[in-house]
Amino acid sequence: MRKSVAGRPLASSRARVARRAGLLSVAIASLLPTMAPAAVFINEFHYDDATAAGDVGERIEVVATAGETLSDYRIVLYNGATPGAATMYDNDLVPAGSAVTCGGSARIATLTYPTNGLQNGPNDGMALVDGAGNVVQFLSYEGQITAADGPAKGKTSVNLPVSESGSTAAGTSLQLGGNGSAYANFSWRASATQTFGACNSGQTFAGTQPNTPPSVTSTVPTAGATNFPAAGDLSVNFSEAVSLAAGALTLQCATTGAVTLTYPSSGTAVTASTGTALHAGEACTFTVVASKVTDSGGANPAANTVVNFTVASGGGTPTGYYQHVNTSSPSQLRCSLHATIKGHTVYPYSGGTTNTWTILEIADEDPNNSGRILDAYRNRSYVKVTERAGSGSGLRYNREHTWPNSLGFGSTTGNKGLPNAPYTDTHMLYLTDSAYNADRGNKPLANCSKTSGCGERVTEVNNGTGGGSGVYPGNSNWFKTPDGNGGSFEVWGPRKGDIARAVLYMAIRYEGGNDPNTGQGEPDLELTDDRSKIVVTSSSPAYMGLLSTLLQWHQADPPDAAEKARNEVIFSFQGNRNPFVDHPEWATSALFTSTKPASCQLIP
C-alpha cells in the first residue's frame, strides 16, 4: 500500500546547497577520478510491517567498512508512483555513526524515520549520496525506478531481490549478510530480527583496511582558468572528509598580495571566501597545503595542490548577456530587458554564510583599504563588520534601500518583502551612514536646493572627493521633511548617477508576476513624477521617483570605473546585471513610461 506524501511531515530536506550565480560559468573539472576511500553502502533497512496503527521502527543503516565518519553522506528517498519518473520526497544527512567490530572494524550510522516515513512500494527507492553530490548507490524495492529529479536524476535503480509487506513482523528488517569489505561481497537476506546500529546476523567485515590518503578531486577555479570572478568564492572537493588546520588553504595574487581566506575547519566540499574583490586581470595562486589537511586516520594528501589562475579582466559585459534584448521600441526594450535580468539568485538579508552584508561589504569596499567600506552618502570609511549598525555606539553604517522597501515590498510576511528578491536585491542596496540613511527615509529622490529650505548633510574627504559645506549643491547631500512624498532627498554629486541607476534598475527588474525560479510573487515597481502616487503600500503598482530627476542625475553622472566594478561584483553573486551601468543609453523617459506590449519579441 502506497503512503500519502502530501500532508505528511517528512523528516525534512535538511541538506541544501547555495551556489553563487557568478560561479555557474566556472567549470568544475576533475583533477583525479572521484573515489571513496573505502566501501560505503546501505547495509540494512525496514519500511513495511503489520502494525495496524502504521509501520514502526522504519530506519536505514549505512556502513563504512574503513571506519570513516559518515556525516557528509545523505539519504535521498524516491517515490516511484510513476516508476519511469520517480520523484524525491525526503533528503537527510546521515549521522557520523559509531564504530563497531564485526570480525573487522567498521562504522555504522542509522537514520530513523517517523511512523510511515518510508514509502511501502511498489517501486520506491533510496539514493546514498556523498558529500560532493555523487550518487554512491541507487537502490529500489518492489520494482525498478528511474529518478526524475534530485541527485539521482536520470539514473535507474538496482532493484533488491527481497522485500517486506503488510504482514511482515514489526521489529524486523532487510539486511546484508556475508563476509568482506565491499558491497559486492554481501547479499540481501529476507526479513529477520533488526540489528540497527550493530552487527548484522551472519555478517563479518574483513580485517582493517589500509587508510588511503585523502586527495583533491577538483577545485574552483580550475588550473589555468582565465575568467575567475573578482568576488568569487574558491572551493575544493576532497576524496573524503578532512580536517583543515589554519593555513590549509592559501591565496597569493600579483597585485592584491596575500589574501586571507575564510573556510570551515572540516568537510568534503570546502568553500573559501576571500571577503574582498580581487583586482581585474591579476594572476593568482591558490594552494591546498598537504601538511595541514588530514583525514580521520591522520593521513595527509601526497603533495600540495597548486592552482594558478587569472582573475577576469572585468572589461565589461559577458559576451551574449544582452543578446535577446530588442531595442526596436521602448516597450520591446523594456520587456526584453526584464526577461534578461529577472530570476536572479537571491541571498538572505542576514544570517548564513553569504548574505547582503557580506556581498555589500565587497561591492562597497573602500578602494584604499580592503578591510573597510566607503559609504554612499557620507563618503565615510568604516571598518567592515565591527562598525555595522547595532554593533556599538558612535557612527555606524547600515544597508540603504535606495528604493524604500515600504514602497511596494515592505512586508516581513507574505512573499513580496523580506526575505525575498526585491528586499534583498544588492543592485539596489547600498551601504550608507546610518544617520544619513534615516534622513533619506521614504522621501523621493529629487533636487532640493538650500533656498527652498533643504538641510545639508556634508560628506567627508575620501578617495579624492567629498568635503566642504555651506554651498549648494557642493559636495553635500540635501534633504527636506516631511518623510514620504512631501519631502525630498538629493544625493551628493559624485553618487547621483549611482543611486539613480540603482532605482532605474528596480523599475525594470520588478514588473509583477512571479519569480521564475521560486514562484514567489513580485511587486510591480514604477517610476513617476507624480508625488501623490509615491505612498507606502504593499500593493502593485508601487511608485518611486522623481523620474525626471533620476534621468537627469543619470545623464550628469555617468558610470565610472568604481560603479562598473560594483556591477561586476553583484553579477558574480546574483547572476544578473544592472543594464543602465552597461548601457546608459537605454535609460530614457520613453522606456519608463512605456506599457507592456501584447507580445514580448525577444531577439533569437
- How many helices and strands in the chain, by DSSP H and E? 9, 30
pTM (two decimals): 0.61
Which residue, among 313, 305, 229, has the nearest Cα to 270 in the 3D structure? 305
Q: How far apart are CA 356 and CA 351, in angstroms?
A: 9
Confidence of residue 412 (pLDDT cuts 50, 70, 90): low
Give residue 501's pLDDT. 99
What's the mean pLDDT in 102-106? 87
Written in H, E and C, the secondary structure of 452-513 is: HCCEEECCCCECCECCCCCCCCCCCEEEECCCCCCCEEECCHHHHHHHHHHHHHHHHHCECC
Give residue 457's pLDDT. 98
Give residue 232's pLDDT. 84
Q: Which residues contact 283 (CB under 8 A, 6 or more apart)?
A: 253, 254, 308, 309, 310, 311
Written in H, E and C, the secondary structure of 18-65 is: CCCHHHCCCCCCECCCCCCCCCEEEEEEECCCCCCCCCCCCEEEEEEC
Confidence of residue 29 (pLDDT cuts 50, 70, 90): very low
Between 35 and 53, residue with greater pLDDT: 53
78 pLDDT more than 80: yes
CA distances from 153 to 19, 189, 201, 604 (A): 19, 28, 34, 30
What's the mean pLDDT in 253-274? 93
Which residue, among 229, 174, 228, has the nearest Cα to 203 in the 3D structure? 174
- Cell numbers 521600441 correspond to what residue? 329
Q: How far apart are CA 460 and CA 479, in angstroms?
A: 17
Give residue 212's pLDDT. 83
316 pLDDT more than 80: no
Per-domain boundaries in the chain: 36-205, 346-508+521-578
Give residue 521's pLDDT. 86
pLDDT digits (tens, 9 = 90+) for 151-200: 999 999 999 999 999 999 999 999 999 998 889 889 999 999 999 999 99
45 pLDDT more than 70: yes
Q: Which residues contact 187 (CB under 8 A, 6 or more apart)?
A: 176, 177, 178
Q: How far apart are CA 180 and CA 203, in angstroms?
A: 8
* Percent with pLDDT over 70 in the chain: 91
What's the mean pLDDT in 481-489? 97
Q: How far apart are CA 39 and CA 106, in angstroms?
A: 10
Count of C-beta atoms within a 10 Å radius of residue 276: 18
Partners of 248 in the β-ladder: none
Give residue 279's pLDDT. 83
pLDDT digits (tens, 9 = 90+) for 318-344: 889 999 999 999 999 999 999 999 999
Give residue 415's pLDDT. 59
Give residue 413's pLDDT. 61
- Upstream peptide bond of 541 is cis (omega within 30 degrees of 0): yes
Q: How far apart are CA 531 and CA 529, in angstroms?
A: 6
Comparing 20-29, 139-148, 566-575, which segment has the lowest mean pLDDT?
20-29
Which string of b and e fits 109-123 if b means at least 16 CB within 10 Å?
A: bbbebeebbbbbbbb
CA distances from 36 to 70, 135, 182, 549 (A): 12, 11, 11, 61
Give residue 558's pLDDT. 97
Give residue 35's pLDDT. 34
Give residue 410's pLDDT. 80
What's the mean pLDDT in 378-398? 95
Q: Which three cell numbers stand for residue 437?
A: 540613511
Give residue 414's pLDDT. 61
What's the mean pLDDT in 467-488? 96
117 pLDDT more than 80: yes
Confidence of residue 12 (pLDDT cuts 50, 70, 90): very low
* Percent with pLDDT over 90 in the chain: 76
What's the mean pLDDT in 62-69? 89
